[in-house]
Structure 1
Amino acid sequence: MKKVAFALGLLSAIASTSTPSAQDLPKVSIVVFGAPSLGAFLPPVIKAQKLDEKNGISIKFEERTPDAYTAQFNSGEFQVGGSAALLTVGLADVRGVKVTYLFNLFDFWGAVVTSRPDIKSLKDVEGKDLAAAKGTTNYVMFDWFARQLGVDTAKLSVVNTATPGLVGYALADRATAVQLWEPAYTTLHAKKPGIRTLDLNIPESWKKVSGSTSIPYLGVAAHVSWAEKNKELIPKLYAAYRQAAEWVAANPDEAAKLIAGKGTDDDRKAISELIRANDRLGMNVRTAAEVSKEINAVYAAGKSIAFLPSDPAASTIYQGAMK
């Protein structure tokens, strides 16, 4: 009996030493936008499925508004950002903040919606108020696409608000139009199905200038100094996000419960349908190196509207090993 107890104790000791607890794993603190946002889309899945721990790291996600996110990431308060809009990464670099885009999570998609019957096209919004999160890259990309349609964006009276407030503006019809993206767009349509979407001609305009249909938009970025010191953690981080995206695509209904945990049944149904279609969601987990051509096309777009004063350094596109 003593031998059996000793053997069981030995096995328990071996198991405890061979399987590190979450407290023993390398820790990564990642700042992200609050929900509803693309940056907040995969974190609840990663944590619920323990994909960080399964890949040998422990991630702590910290939510911030877009403006606070940019300030705290660029200052180095957070070394890793999970709502890393590509043009924001490029702008940080040309301003002297050495950061690098590790991998892409979502391609760009944005929309302008209105409830006003007299607004037939985006051109009709000139001289009127547009609610938008002006501090986001989604707005900057919208600016570029609007100009391709001949819209004078300087004539838009932008009412700046945080990302979560955009749905509220649209529901209450507090502005002539609202510029927003997923998953807020789907959440809005679940609550107000009759709202109209103004065409931005995104696929045609982008293919005309880049020759590609992929528009790298939002992913995970890090300060170059952090990336150089933590090369062994980056493939683990990438694997956790990639596996989360794969699980979401394979389990849209279960994923919607995690992503829209505080929402209604209609909200969750809308999110699951969004995942199944993926045309507006644009979930596309790729390493930065794999989409370097498209990243440079996004930089060129940002430079053409004077958002980027110069070309970002090649180091903003991470080239390190991901396996």
Structure 2
Amino acid sequence: MKNLKELFRRAGTTLAVGLALNATVSAAQAAEPLPKLAVTVFSPPSQSIWIPVLIQRLGLDRKHGFELTVTPKPSNVAYTDFATGRDPVCFCAAIAAVSRFKQQGADFTLLWNIFNFESDIVIRDPAITDVKQLQGKVVQTDTITGSWALSKWFLQARGVDLGKVTIKSSSARGAAGLAELQLGRVDALLVNPTEGAAAVAQGKGALHALPVFDKAVWQKASGTDFVPSITLGVASPWIAQASNQALIRKFYAANREAAEFIRQKPAEAARLVSKDAQVEVGALQGVLERYRDLTRIEPLRRHIKTVALLTQKLLPEGGQLPRPLTDAELDSLVSAFDVEGRNE
């Protein structure tokens, strides 16, 4: 009996020591700062701000073991800082735009698709119901963006003679662009779906929007039903570091979760990001519901044939790239890095 009591005493002591050790380790882990990830997005009302802000609002960054910071910048500044390596992680890397930087020797790669291509033409004249009627009109848009490059291709493919359209390039977004339209200084705005919805809502019945993307036109050209467009771009030296590879996989997982939240709860998602997106909640909810397939988080390498079609044929032929990407440039542009960690 005495031996049995001594056995229990020793077991209890061992258990207490083990629990104390586990508590110490847990406390030490809790005290360790989370790795930080800084991403650049376009200034609002760009849609590139949606997912990073939603990740922050839902706490998905901390859930997946990192701390996210988001820096909005005007499109020209965001692209310059990304192409030069100043900002190693760009959440607004449009394939059609950054392919030019790859041809110029910029050292970066694209990891995953974020948004499929969509853009709207916002018009004041109710008589304009077809994009071909833009001929003879003044259209304002931000021509530095990939959205413009793809929009240009679609407009031409749909029969618009852009030689007869006056394109006014401006990085002015939101209220500034809308004012140009309402004051009659331009006839139309070519913008992303978020800006389009916000403009139509603010126009209170005086404005309407026409979509630029045409599924039938794209299916004929590519055999697919969507255009990968806005991607996550990273500097090649940055992603070569093992610590950053682990960090970016955590970010990818948070992206997937945020995208699913948008699909399942568009009204709540709109409420959470409306302030940072600088879009009225109802208008943003309308975009999220209208374009339920706009967000498509997938490794871009799965769609390398479509990217090849864009960068080696359609965009060069349309004048949006000075020449086709070489096979080596294409392979460098579309990363083979396993963001899902399936082969780990």
Is TM > 0.5 for Structure 1 vs Structure 2? yes
Matched, 1:128 2:145: no
Aligned to 2:298: 286
**Secondary structure class of the residue paired with 2:190:** strand
Query: How big is the alpha-carbon RMSD for the aligned residues of Structure 1 and Structure 2?
Result: 2.6
CA change 1:44–1:168 in 2 (3 A) is farther
1:275 corresponding residue in structure 2 = 288
Task: Give the Cα–Cα distance (whole angstroms) in 2 for the partners of residues 248 and 267 of structure 1.
Answer: 16
Query: Quick one: structure 1 residues 294 and 178, their matched pair in 2 at CA, closer, same or farther if it must change by over 3 Å?
Result: same
Q: CA deviation at 1:316?
A: 1.0
Q: Which runs of 5+ in 1 are unaligned?
A: 1-5
> Does structure 1 residue 94 correspond to structure 2 residue 98?
no
* Structure 2 gap segments, 5+ residues each: 1-16
SS in 2 for 1:313: helix
Mapped to 2, the partners of 1:239 and 1:263 lie a distance apart of 22
Pairwise CA distance, 1:315: 1.7
Aligned residue number for residue 332 of structure 2? 315
CA distance in 1, matches of 2:86, 2:320: 24
Give distance in 2, aligned partners of 1:167 and 1:289: 37
Aligned counterpart for 2:186 among listed residues 170, 175, 200:
175
Distance 2:287 2:100 in 1: 31
* Distance in 1, Cα, partners of 2:215 & 2:206: 24
Check conservation: 1:94, 1:313, Cα contact below 8 A: no
**SS of equivalent residue, structure 1 residue 30:** strand
Rg larger for? 2
Preserved contact between residue 39 and residue 82 of structure 1 (Cα < 8 Å): yes
Q: How many residues align?
A: 315
Amino acid at match of 2:230: L
CA distance in 2, matches of 1:263, 1:40: 6
Aligned equivalents of 1:86 and 1:243: distance in 2?
A: 23
In 2, Cα distance between equivalents of 1:253 and 1:79: 32
For residues 175-254 of structure 1, the aligned pairs below 5 Å read 175-192=186-203, 193-198=205-210, 200=212, 202-229=214-241, 230-254=244-268
Aligned residue number for residue 83 of structure 1: 92
Q: Taking structure 1 as reference, are residues 294 and 187 closer, same or farther at Cα in structure 2, changes over 3 Å only?
A: same
Larger proportion of helix: 2
Deviations 1:67-88 (A, max 9, x none): 1111111111101101111112
The verdict on how the C-alpha distance between 1:120 and 1:247 changes in structure 2, with shifts beyond 3 A counting, is closer
Question: Secondary structure at 1:183's aligned position in 2?
Answer: helix
- Residue 53 of structure 1 and its aligned partner are, at CA, apart by 2.2
Structure 1 residue matching 2:140: 3-state secondary structure:
strand
Partner of 2:3 in structure 1?
Answer: none
Inter-partner Cα distance in structure 2 for 1:242 and 1:173: 42
Aligned counterpart in structure 2 of residue 304 of structure 1, from 314, 317, 332: 317
Cα separation, 1, equivalents of 2:19 and 2:197: 53
Contact 2:126 2:208 in 1 (8 A): no
How far apart are residue 115 of structure 1 and its match? 0.9
CA shift, 1:191, in A, is 1.8
- Assess, with a 3 A threshold, how the Cα gap between structure 1 residues 167 and 238 changes in structure 2: closer, same or farther: farther
CA–CA distance in structure 1, aligned partners of residues 80 and 194 of structure 2: 24
Distance 1:283 1:263, change over 3 A: closer
Deviates more, 1:69-78 or 1:242-251: 242-251
TM-score scaled by structure 1?
0.88
Map of 1:3 onto structure 2: none
- Measured after TM superposition, the shift of residue 125 of structure 1 is 2.4
- Identity of paired residues, percent? 22
User: Is residue 159 of structure 1 aligned with residue 168 of structure 2?
Assistant: yes
Against the structure 1 CA distance between its residues 78 and 121, is the aligned structure 2 distance closer, same or farther, given a 3 Å change threshold? same
Seen in structure 2, the aligned counterparts of structure 1 residues 251 and 19 have a Cα distance that, compared at 3 Å, is farther
